[in-house]
Amino acid sequence: MALSLNACILLLKEHHLLKSSAVQSDISVEMTGIAYDSRKVSGPTLFFCKGAHFRPIYLSMAKDNGATTYVAEKPFVEGNGLNALIVTNITKAMAILSAAFYDFPQDDLVITAYTGTKGKTTAAYFNRGILEEAYPKHVALFSTIDRVLGPNPDQRFKSDLTTPESLDLFHDMREAVDNGMTHLVMEVSSQAYLRNRVFGLTYDIGFFLNITPDHIGPNEHPNFANYLHNKMQLLVNARKVVINAETDHFDEVYAAATTTTYPDSIYLFASTDFEPARDDIQIDFRFESTEADTATSKFTVIPVTDKAAELNVGGHYSLSLIGDFNESNATAAIIGAGLAGVDAASAVPGIAKIKIPGRMESLAVSEHGTVYVDYAHNYASMKALLSFIEKEYNKPRILVVVGSPGDKGVSRRAGFAKVLTEYANVAYLTTDDPGFEDPADIIDEIDRDIDHDKVEVHKVLDRREAIEAAIKASGSNDIVVVAGKGADPYQKVRGVDTPWPTDMVVVTEIAESL
């Protein structure tokens, strides 16, 4: 892969991003490397000076390691002697130049993208499962949990971000294409739009699952309007659009979709119980629960409109992942697969076997209750989870182990207090990624808003001890919910990812020791 200085200048001008340039070398000279991290520079490289914690010394280091051109929002003396491209927006410039450096890999992939406050990972996993049934070993995945760039085990690795930085995104797409991938299913966070990680990228199919207040605070979105605005950007960058008609703020979301997409390429889905508030829209797909037990969910997808019927994905489905909210996620995945040309013959077996690390994993503990480990980590997802358990198990005694992260999502703390008061009998408040905050303070903040007449609260800082105490306190008909971390293999403590065996491993170890 390579990109000439001349091509960089032309691209930046075309996108109205170039403020000025200082050219020190032959303009046709090619750069064979691209990086935003000085530690990754080797040989003639295009280097981006970006980020809240960027320090000019990184540019000196990049220069020492062979960088020949830097891109920044202002000139740096440390860059003297290098070609300088001064731009109006560094993250947009990085996205445009990265796509070109990796030779536009998106053009060789059918891309399906999911956004929503909750359900992105689940729907993406389901969608990939169906596509893999139809196109085995040809479907890449960019998810919060992992990135799959090829069919071999060494082409699958853990994700650091839900949606990677643009440079990493286009790098990974290129690798996926070179590994023979024809399809990509990806999650797109609102943060990805806020930070221009997907600037200039068009998806073949874009999904809007739902929106509830979350990710608002330092380092994330300044307010809900900004969160919603960024989430809706996915819709104006997709050729075909699918919207969950049950989402909050439907009117704004639908209006965003119609700004760039004709109604015949916009699909709506909802459960059979749902009555739309307006009569000028038609729901294309309905889904209906038919049966559920504690191991499987069964439901039917019903095409309602002619354009929905053309996709041939109507029928009866079964999931290995319980939770009524997962039937909504699965319906989204099934429609996504249909739009990518797959019919029910592949969709039914493709989705049936999918399990997702840290999502509704369960273990029945002898002489104690059934334990669920789940990634629910805000009010809406915890409510979806606990209300499902309350209904499915006919109002069992519910013991919940939960904490809330430090340095972000501060609104989640009050949300947990509310949902615990609504559904839990016993709460074990514990540590979850405290970052630079004191976990005891976070616990106190959650505890403050809990109604203690309704919930018995225990504060147990050590997460393993909290899980153990909850399991030991549970009786055979009780349900223990260990929430918030899913399959996270670490606790973020003071800037360090401290290894954590994962909640399910801890639950299993405790169960075996009893």
Ligand X SMILES: Nc1ncnc2c1ncn2[C@@H]1O[C@H](COP(=O)(O)OP(=O)(O)OP(=O)(O)O)[C@@H](O)[C@H]1O
Ligand Y SMILES: CC(=O)N[C@H]1[C@@H](OP(=O)(O)OP(=O)(O)OC[C@H]2O[C@@H](n3ccc(=O)[nH]c3=O)[C@H](O)[C@@H]2O)O[C@H](CO)[C@@H](O)[C@@H]1O[C@H](C)C(=O)N[C@@H](C)C(=O)N[C@H](CCC(=O)O)C(=O)O
DSSP assignment of 223-275: SHHHHHHHHHHHHHTEEEEEEETTSTTHHHHHHHHHHHS-GGGEEEEEETT--
Backbone angles phi, psi at 277, to 5 degrees: -75, -15
- Three-class HEC string of 1-43: CCEEHHHHHHHHHHCCCEEEEECCCCCCCEECEEECCHHHCCC
122 is in an annotated binding site: yes
38 is in an annotated binding site: yes
Q: What's the min distance (Å) between Cβ of 210 and ligand X?
A: 6
**Count of residues binding ligand X (CB under 6 A)?**
22
Beta bridge partners of 112: 185, 205
Q: What's the min distance (Å) between Cβ of 456 and ligand Y?
A: 31
Per partner kind, with CB cut-offs from 5 to 8 A, the member of ligand X, ligand Y, none near residue 198 is none
121 is in an annotated binding site: yes
Region 25-44 residues binding ligand Y, contact defined as CB under 6 A: 36-39
The binder of ligand X chosen from 79, 105, 119, 415 (CB under 6 A): 119
By CB under 6 A, tell whether 381 contacts ligand X.
yes
Q: Which amino acid is at 335?
A: I
The binder of ligand X chosen from 91, 329, 491, 502 (CB under 6 A): 329
Q: What's the min distance (Å) between Cβ of 22 and ligand X?
A: 41
Tokens of 78: 């440390």
Could you tell me which of 274, 318, 275 has the C-alpha nearest to residue 296?
318
The binder of ligand Y chosen from 18, 46, 50, 250 (CB under 6 A): 50
Per partner kind, with CB cut-offs from 5 to 8 A, the member of ligand X, ligand Y, none near residue 50 is ligand Y
Binding mask 210-249 for ligand Y (x = CB under 6 A): -----x---xx-----------------------------
Q: What's the min distance (Å) between Cβ of 134 and ligand Y?
A: 28
475 is in an annotated binding site: no
By CB under 6 A, tell whether 63 contacts ligand Y.
no
117 is in an annotated binding site: yes
Binding mask 421-450 for ligand Y (x = CB under 6 A): ------------------------------
The whole-angstrom separation of Cα 231 and Cα 310 is 29
Residues whose CB is less than 8 angstroms from the CB of residue 134 and which lie 6 or more positions away in sequence, other chains included? 337, 341, 342, 346, 350
By CB under 6 A, tell whether 271 contacts ligand X.
no
212 is in an annotated binding site: no
The whole-angstrom separation of Cα 203 and Cα 234 is 8
By CB under 6 A, tell whether 174 contacts ligand X.
no
Region 352-371 residues binding ligand X, contact defined as CB under 6 A: 359
- Three-class HEC string of 86-154: EECCHHHHHHHHHHHHCCCHHHHCEEEEEECCCCHHHHHHHHHHHHHHHCCCCEEEECCCEEECCCCHH
391 is in an annotated binding site: no
495 is in an annotated binding site: no
The whole-angstrom separation of Cα 239 and Cα 206 is 7
Tokens 């000279």 found at: 29
Tokens of 156: 């699958």
Residue 490 half-sphere exposure toward CB, CA atoms < 13 A: 13
261 is in an annotated binding site: no
115 is in an annotated binding site: no
Mapped onto helix, strand or coil, the DSSP state of residue 56 is: helix
> Which among 322-330, 336-344, 389-397, 417-425 is the span making contact with ligand X, rule CB under 6 A?
322-330
By CB under 6 A, tell whether 161 contacts ligand Y.
yes
By CB under 6 A, tell whether 504 contacts ligand X.
no
Residues whose CB is less than 8 angstroms from the CB of residue 227 and which lie 6 or more positions away in sequence, other chains included? 190, 211, 213, 214, 215, 216, 220, 221
The whole-angstrom separation of Cα 382 and Cα 405 is 15
By CB under 6 A, tell whether 163 contacts ligand Y.
yes
By CB under 6 A, tell whether 112 contacts ligand X.
no
Interface with ligand Y by CB under 6 A: which residues?
Answer: 36-39, 50-54, 58, 161-163, 165, 189, 191-192, 195, 215, 219-220
Interface with ligand X by CB under 6 A: which residues?
Answer: 116, 118-122, 144, 162, 187, 209-210, 325, 328-329, 359, 374-376, 380-381, 384-385
List binding-site positions for ATP: 116-122
